[in-house]
Structure 1
Amino acid sequence: MPPSEPTPPQPSPPETHPRYGAQVLLDAAARARDIVALTGGPPGAPSPPATPPAPAPAPPPSDTPPAAASAPTTVPVPVPAQSTGFERVLRGPSGLGTAGLRLSPRPSHHPEPPAPAPAPPAAHGTPIPGLYHHPVPDPDPVRVEEVSRRIKSWALDEVSLYPDDWEEEFDGFSVGSYMVGCHPDAPTVDHLMIATRLMVAENAVDDCYCEDHGGSPIGLGERLLLAHTALDPLHTTREYSPDWEKSLHADAPRRAYRSAMEYFVRASSPSQADRFRHDMARLHMGYLAEAAWAQLDAVPEVWEYLAMRQFNNFRPCPTITDTVGGYELPADLHAQPAMQKVIALAGNATTIVNDLYSYTKELDAPGRHLNLPVVIAEREGLSDRDAYLKSVEVHNDLMHDFEEHAAALAADCPLPNVQRFLRGVAAWVDGNHHWHQNNTYRYSLPDFW
């Protein structure tokens, strides 16, 4: 394909919120390449001059799409003092028999993703005015077509996910475009399919258990718990195991969960699989909180709604970016509080994007759907317009916090897999917005401007 032409630079945000994004994470990695200097002496020791970086390997001929681009404006990131937690992880274990367990730099079996490509000349949909985001290129159409073909075959032939009259809605979701855009460093289409199956399965559970296609808050806890055993297997007696195994084929959501998780487990490490199960338990707990408010016909306080959204959100998607990328962020690094905060902020910001773009869709649906503008309007006595615009501000604050903490973490822990994971999460955030903005089949903007 011919290269995309760059767009004019986007307006810079206020100086108090510098734009970081994926490009600044790359910059932070480049400034901290000499990992030996970091791990070979006490915190604060002077570092020798960094060696010049090796030239980046050439990307595969056509299988690897360009990585997501971020805004052209970058701001230098100060390197904070080494945190106690990361100092311990970087130093590694001590004692007899632990020499081979140290977390030190080693050659990567996967090439680093290519440098960010320029932003596309124009988007197909209209971005929300005032919403802070990074324009990114359209996803690789060749990969989109292949992922779309494979996921439809899986949905129909392997798990019998939906009846014929749901086909238009399935196609309109454009999950192939979504996942290719969110995972620009996936080595192959097989890697992209790991995320795509899970995304479709999660949406099947949401639609069929909670939302549009027969969902109800009544009895939701039981349905979610039984579905969760498709992700986190039941270990019981021989007498009762056959009944549980049979139940995994009882409905479309459980069939989808079971199959998608089998593919994921084959591609991931035990640690990555357990991490995903934990994040899915978080998601299901968020579903239950929202269902409780629906049963009570209650509108939570704004802070309570945001607490629910930290669990009922997109977190399981960006947190598997290393599995989809064909590498692993070790459990000890993933569990660090600083990394957990970055992942949580990414999930929160991307989920408020969904609240904003799906606002009119949910207004047109039967019943009352809780989203951030609705909750702010109810709890703070604002007009629909003012509540929506305030929700845009909440999203922007979350985005700035995510980028600032991600950039600080990139500088604080310059291990290659940490750098790549943070870039992957940032690319997922950008790709998520791109899909919401451009999916005009599902979303339209309110007339507030």
Structure 2
Amino acid sequence: MFSKIRKAYQLFKSIDFEQLDKLSRKVDLPKVMDSFSKLDEKQLNGLMKMLEGGKPKRELPPINGDFYELHLRLSEEDRALQLKVRDFMEREIRPLVNHYWLRDEFPFEIIPKLAQLNICGLTYEGYGCAGRSSLMEGIIAMEIARVDASVATFFGVQSGLAMGSIYLCGSDAQKQEWLPAMQQMKLIGAFGLTEPEVGSGAAGGLTVTARKTEKGWVLNGQKKWIGNATFADVTVIWAKDVDDGEVKGFLVRKGTPGFEVEKIKGKMALRIVQNGLITLTDCTVDESDRLQHAHSFKDTAKVLQLTRAGVAWMAVGCARGAYENALDYTRKRKQFGKPIASFQLIQNHLVEMLSNLTAMQTLVYRLSELQDADMLRDEHASLAKVFCTLRTRDIVSQAREVMGGNGILLEYDVARFLADAEAIYSYEGTKEINSLIVGRSITGFSAFV
């Protein structure tokens, strides 16, 4: 009896007092309620469906940017790790990311939580690292960037550029000293290559100098756009040896005299990343802190090749986050009495976005397969970086477009993806430089000047 009365009540609860007054003039409401109480469950359910229009509730498909279901290629263990990282990003990062992004600050409280995932230095062997595949490393970069590209960049600098420099170019003693603590994120690293007047021309134009003396190596000059630099425990500085003209790497410890960092302010992208302008003034570094296996820019390039693939994956993550947010918005946002996702032009935008995203995903999957097979070449990574960052720009732009004016509000996330995509497009080699790397490979002619 109670359930029947409750269902009857539900039929009338949406009627306001004015409507109820009009209805009472036409029907005997007590009699109607008494009739309802005599209906059996089947009759009452039928009446409910009739009053609701007889239409079944629409079950919308899940929001999933992996349209070709590439995750099915993963082992159960790898898939579990992917979902673990996704859950972490949704629970721990998404609720706070806009707050810190808007304020140009870094959420230091996330570092020990990130460390608990045990994903730092994922592909390295030993030193507490997991020795997992490059494919899995890429997927994790995508999952982090799917929620926030700034956190993905912070993590990429730590796990890829800084740890990678030591792993590829450091001595056994240097690896033992730094990598275990960095893997646990007890120590944070930075990577100093770019300079105020030297970006794309780093291969032959570094102005930071290193001079060997009896006291050690003396470094002078400036580095710019160095992620994590304002709080890093160690910064890898790449400098030109004034004696032989070759590029060498140095581990500069936090607090070293002559090493100063100024935070770069006023950025429109990756605002959580703490980029620094580093000034080296007669900064003396012991020979024991020179990367023992870094003898020329070719060794620096090995690190960049290792991480450039990761940047392509980050671009995929940024694009996926924008697409999935935009799709969710269009299914909820109503105009002219129905969700805008039901309009042809909106669906066309969404399909174009998904097409680009799917092409990007299949490309980076193959890229990581080449890396795991030890077949990765510079031009492979460069092509992925060019294509993925270009298409990410397209996707975030269309995501903003389908969201209309709300697309520029930070609370809907897409505005952040739109801005951050611009930084991903430029760092770790511009489109033009990476295009020339690929062009040299396919034509046999170098167009570099």
Structure with greater Cα Rg: 2
Q: Please tell me the TM-score bracket, short chain as reference.
A: under 0.3
TM-score (norm 1): 0.23
TM-score (norm 2): 0.23
Q: Which structure has the highest strand share of the two? A: 2
